[in-house]
Chains A and B, each alone.
Chain A
Amino acid sequence: MTGLAVAARVGDAPPSRSLLPKDARPGWRRLWLAAIAVLGLLLPFMVNGYWLATAVFVLIAAIGALGLDVLTGRTGQISLGHAFFLGAGAYTGGVLGGRYGLSAALWIPAAAVVAGILGGLVGPTALRLRGLYLAIVTIGLVFIGQHVFVNVSYLSGGPGGEALPVPRFGRLNFATGAHVGGLFLNRDGLYYYLALVLLAGAMVYVSNVGHSRPGRAMSAVRDRELAAAVLGVDVARTKVTAFVLSSMLAGLSGALYGSFLGFVVPTQWNLTLSIQYVVMIVVGGMATVWGPVLGAAVVVGLPALLQNVSGSLPFLATGTNNHGVLTVSDASAIAYGVFLIVFLLVEPRGIVGLGRRFASLGSWFATTRQEKKADGVNTD
């Protein structure tokens, strides 16, 4: 395939702020955002404990997916090493918050910073290696990471695992729940709002980066690296920035995930986890802010949904892996694979792209109506 064809295809996912097409009227966009915000804020009072916990996992995963999207979706660097950075964040939380008993106001940002530093150390390999080579080296990162997590028990608790602390901000103790403004929020409710706030902040930040000079440099590097360099983009700096930002968000997500789970073991930071994050950004829609969130909802929500309905589906089992038994986790992993393939072939811009198609279908109807009216045709 020629270079030009590649450039044209890779570039066909333009960054955009929302699900709505660019020509959607700002009033409608504001209305949509307000509706999503209200829904997001009220959700803990609308669902039961099972779905609240699922929602927390979705929000936490969305932070990590947003990070991977910065690197893979926006900068075009295929990374299968996201699990390593998620793990690094979790263990930072475990050591600083658990063993040294620091406040959550310290260990949560520290998890992001430590993972970011590791990303900054790994990033330079991306300067020399491109595409497939980078993907393989990042796989190596996962294996080396697992080796370190198993063997350096001082950092990770060894193969037996590490307990992570529950966040505590002064008097606001997540373990016991708290009264906030007259409403009682239990542990999961507090986690939900913490993750929601952090995710919203991360989305705004990534969106702003995407629409500013570094973000345009990232797209240029993704679309055609050599051309970007010729145009004066500092390729090295752009790639390392993307790596650092991506792994910071992964570290943040990993620390929250580990803390919400309460306990992490080295084997969970494996390649399968990395692939799940890849599925999130592809299914949701790459180089968009909402794509990773929607993708996280699909990837995290699907097993939760299957678990919930497994009683009424005879072919699905909740028990352990066995011959002739399709477990929920296997069924969802098969579904991830199918989603990945179908979306890549049919709608490479993911769910966000599907949303845009529907939205532009609506505006197409609206404009044809207007044109017909202008032509004096009776549309009734």
Chain B
Amino acid sequence: MTTFAQLLFAGIALGSVYALVALGFTVVFRATRVINFAQGEMLAFGAFLTSWLVLSGGLPFWLALVVGAGVTAGIGLAFQALVLRFALGRPDFTVVMLTLGLAAILQSAIPPLFGSNPRANGDPWGASALHAAGLVLNWVQIWSIVTAVVVLVAFYWFNRSHFGLAMRAAAADEEAALAVGIPLRRVFAVAWALAGLVACIGGVFVAGFPSTLDPTVGNVALLAFPAIILGGIDSTTGAVLGGFLIGAVQELTAGYQPQYLSWLGHNFYLAAPYVVMILVLLVRPYGLFGSRPAERL
């Protein structure tokens, strides 16, 4: 039972990180109807920058996090201002490919800028933990849950604000949104900046204890794909629930699979979210909470 509770806590902590990462995808998707395949690399870049500011720049962690998140938000903003604005009205296909281009650039910019050796993420907690009721609760895990809750609540309010409404309108129909006077470019720019902001925060916590930060951290963000898919991309609640679900699946698999299903091989927990995702998608092609789009000729 203690093992189960321990794994479940780890799963919730991991899930809150995934929820943060998934939120970054949903912000962009809800405004632009496009999945940002560069989200993982924005996350990695933000985490590396924050770590570098703390370890090499000597900044206090929270200040470094603010600067890192600001710069990552700036990258999102710049991508919208310099690239995506020229692709307005192009098919989704083009925009997806453009985000893949950004992913390639960011991924390869990290080693020359920050080196490719694994490094600490720069948080002040390290491996310190709170011992309670026979459980070991790492501070970084507790803080990732707290941060996720704060960000999600803030996002919930933002979504209901005037600007959030404009974002949803832009996603529903670009032309109609333009026609009623919604500044599409500004809406998209804010969406991309928010995505960068959330990416950096998520990245720092993804690389918290017991993980370290290395250039493949962007792949961890790809594990948030099952989360958003399970939830349905256009549903924020779904993305968050999907995040927690995938986190729990992954930690429980990591905890129990080597013992009971060892024939599935080492590190099966890394592939498990995708297996769950494909099974769910075969039954419900638009996710658990997603809506099936109407088709018009």
Contact = CB atoms under 8 A, between A and B. Distances in A.
B275 to A, nearest CB: 7
Interface stretch (A59-67, A124-132, A172-180, A241-249): A124-132
Contacts of B265: 147-148, 150-152
A3 B33 CA distance: 14
Contact of B103 (A129, A275, A345): A275
A340 B98 contact: yes
A147 to B, nearest CB: 4
B281 A128 contact: yes
B111 A330 contact: yes
A133 B281 contact: yes
Given A128-B282, A131-B92, A271-B219, A344 B97 contact: yes
B155 interface: no
B232 to A, nearest CB: 10
A125 B279 CA distance: 10
Contacts of A139: 222, 225
B108 A1 contact: no
A235 interface: no
Contacts of A323: 112-115
A230 B222 contact: no
Interface in B29-70: 34-35, 37
B91 A132 contact: no
B100 A140 contact: no
Interface in A143-159: 143-144, 146-148, 150-152
A344 B94 contact: yes
A204 interface: no
Nearest to B222: A139
B93 to A, nearest CB: 6
B285 A2 contact: no
Interface in A1-46: 1-3, 5-6, 9-10
Q: Which of B93, B96, B265, B271 lies at the interface centre, i.e. has the most chain A CB atoms within 10 A of its CB?
A: B93
A140 B112 contact: no
A355 B109 CA distance: 31
B5 interface: no
A201 interface: no
Interface string B256-279: 000000001111101100110110
B233 interface: yes
A274 B104 CA distance: 11
Contact of B104 (A76, A224, A334): A334
A6 B146 CA distance: 42
- Name the prevailing secondary structure of the B interface residues: helix
A325 B96 contact: no
B117 to A, nearest CB: 8
A227 interface: yes
Interface stretch (B81-89, B132-140, B157-165): B81-89
A146 B285 CA distance: 24
Given A135-B35, A140-B226, A327-B111, A76 B93 contact: yes
Interface in A189-247: 224, 226-227, 230
Contact of A143 (B89, B107, B274, B297): B274
Contacts of A144: 271, 274-275, 278
Contacts of B268: 147, 151
Interface string A272-301: 100100110010000000000000000000
A322 interface: yes
B98 A78 contact: no
Interface string A318-358: 00011111110111011011111100110010000000000
Contact of B83 (A128, A133, A345, A348): A345
B70 to A, nearest CB: 23
Interface string A162-196: 00000000000000000000000000000000000
Given A129-B281, A334-B104, A344-B101, A3 B296 contact: yes
A110 B271 CA distance: 28
Contacts of A52: none
Contact of A321 (B111, B275, B297): B111
A10 B91 contact: yes
Contacts of B98: 340-341, 344-345
Given A78-B93, A323-B115, A340 B281 contact: no
Contacts of B107: 272, 333
B105 interface: yes
A9 B267 CA distance: 43
Contacts of A146: 271
Nearest to A225: B295
A137 interface: yes
B94 A348 contact: yes
22 contacts: A1-B174, A9-B94, A129-B281, A143-B222, A148-B265, A150-B265, A151-B265, A151-B268, A226-B297, A271-B219, A275-B103, A324-B115, A330-B109, A331-B108, A333-B104, A334-B108, A337-B103, A338-B101, A338-B105, A341-B98, A344-B87, A344-B97
Given A322-B116, A323-B115, 8 more contacts: A2-B175, A136-B225, A144-B275, A227-B297, A230-B297, A275-B104, A333-B105, A345-B86
Interface of B: 34-35, 37, 83, 86-87, 89-94, 96-98, 100-105, 107-109, 111-116, 174-175, 219, 222, 225-226, 229, 233, 264-268, 270-271, 274-275, 277-278, 281-282, 285-286, 295-297
